[in-house]
Structure 1
Amino acid sequence: MPGQRGRLWAGVRAVVFSRYGGPEVLTPTEVAEPTAGPGRIRVRVRAAGVNPYDYKVRSGMMSNGAQVPDAPVVPGQEAAGVVDQMGEGVTGVSVGDEVFGLGSRAYAERAVLRAWAPKPAGLDWPQAAALGVAGETATRILNALALPQGATLLVHGAAGGVGQAVVQLGRVAGLRVIGTARARNHDLLRGLGAEPTTYGEGLPARVAALAPDGVDGVADTAGSQLDDLIAVAGSADRVVTIANYSAAERGVRFTGGGEDASAALARVGELAAQGRFAVRVAATFDLADAAEAQRLSEARGSGGKIVLIVQ
């Protein structure tokens, strides 16, 4: 993967876009330092996660035809780093602490986090940065499904960052997990405790062969094959998606975040420290190469998390 470019930067490095388009609209530049407001902390970013949401925003897919707001936009929802500023009312953390968490404008040397947890011992910075979005989203999906111990869960798109997180947290909760992925990622899923199958045509029959009595819930992280997923679940209300924005028209629940993530981050941090939860980092890029990182993310074939390194 691309490495350090050797460029000397002054000020706060960041990657921004000022118009919607392909990865080429992402530009390394300098921005003003953000400030931690009430209930927030600021970190010196050591690594930032790259998520599908990032390229969807950059491409204009989420804009509903509006122009880019408050250009230039700094992408990024999650980071791991060292606390260097605390907002009013923040307790339980100190300047100098190593944390991971969720926030905004994370493709930068400094980022403000709205929710965080201690960086798990034994994890490097890219591994810690990969925990936030995947861990919180997976927790939210499983809470929405509310499956009892021993139930069978199908995870559609199980080899991606969120998919892997759902598999692992599902197994921790005592669920039987079946996961869809490309054949090359089936060993990865087996290693996480899932029974793998491929997606595409014939999915309901393949799932029925693995689970003749059916599945109790479906976690969709891919956004495809909605009709097949409903058929597999037996009812639309037993499917939860994070990737199909029109799913509600079919009675499928869409979950998009917005809740307090602190408890979820603390839980996945504890599991990671115990060696019971991890998000596979498939590729790392220098911050200045964020365009290449998003290009790989958009191709949706990485088999894990993509992370930007900030030196």
Structure 2
Amino acid sequence: MADKIATREAYGKALVELGAQNDRVVVLDADLAGATMTKHFKAAYPDRFFDMGIAEANMVNVAAGLSTMGLVPFCSTFAMFGAGRAYEQVRNSIAYPKFNVKLCMSHAGVSVGEDGGSHQCIEDLALMRVIPGMTVIVPADAAEARKATLALADFQGPAYLRLARLATPVFTDDQPFEIGKANVLREGGDVAIFACGLMVSEALEAAKLLEQDGIHASVINVHTIKPIDAQCVTEYAEKCGNVVTVEEHSVIGGLGDAVADVLMGKVNCKFHKIGVQDQFGQSGKAADVLREYGLTADQIAAVVKSRL
């Protein structure tokens, strides 16, 4: 885990790869190309880049229209604006008619840091997950963000890709990526830790700490929240008997609830969700905010120990 690269950076560069491979790929942004990293595509393919200004709802509607012409639109802005402000347009203009638009939203979660609670979107997975037919993906690192971006270009239908501002460890280079298929990164029989996004690396570090106390944890990277890999979730819940979910998102409506939906009434196991409780984020350095909300490796390990 030597290199640290933000998933938004990998997304921006992957778009340039796509631009070379597929002339139907177009990119739309809402005056934030420098932050969402769509600036890379803008520089390489200016004729296929559309800056819609601070008009997220309009951006989503234009993307819907472009998709009806056989183009493959990738829409980007901050998650708070793309999943929040433009929610009605995402629901009615893209998901309802099943249009082939990729919603790739950056600066999600409390790791946005200094921008504070107004910009730290901790409900986007819940909002997107509840929309019928919406595929929801949360890459664990930059390598997986690249793979997910490339995969979405070939995927038919509306999809939401959650990206982060913070540079974090890269560790999935040798892992396969398939939409809807979770990746088991570590095997252990005492507890199954299901994590997504930036929390996957923290879960792996937590597993190392638990190992020192004789607790053997399986760590599963659930990069696709919807459709979730129910077979994998069920298998490891049955194998371990103890399930913990970890997400940089509200504990309401995100990964934890998706896993619980799979297991409820089917698997007899202990279950606990780690994430942001029913509260907003707050301003501070990313590392401090993550610690404030109990999302660091040592805190995760401590919670797991207390639940066993």
**Which has more radius of gyration?**
1
Q: Which has the higher strand share?
A: 1
Same topology, TM > 0.5: no
TM-score (norm 1): 0.31
Structure showing greater relative contact order (alpha-carbon pairs closer than 8 Å, 6 or more residues apart): 1
Q: Which has the higher helix share?
A: 2
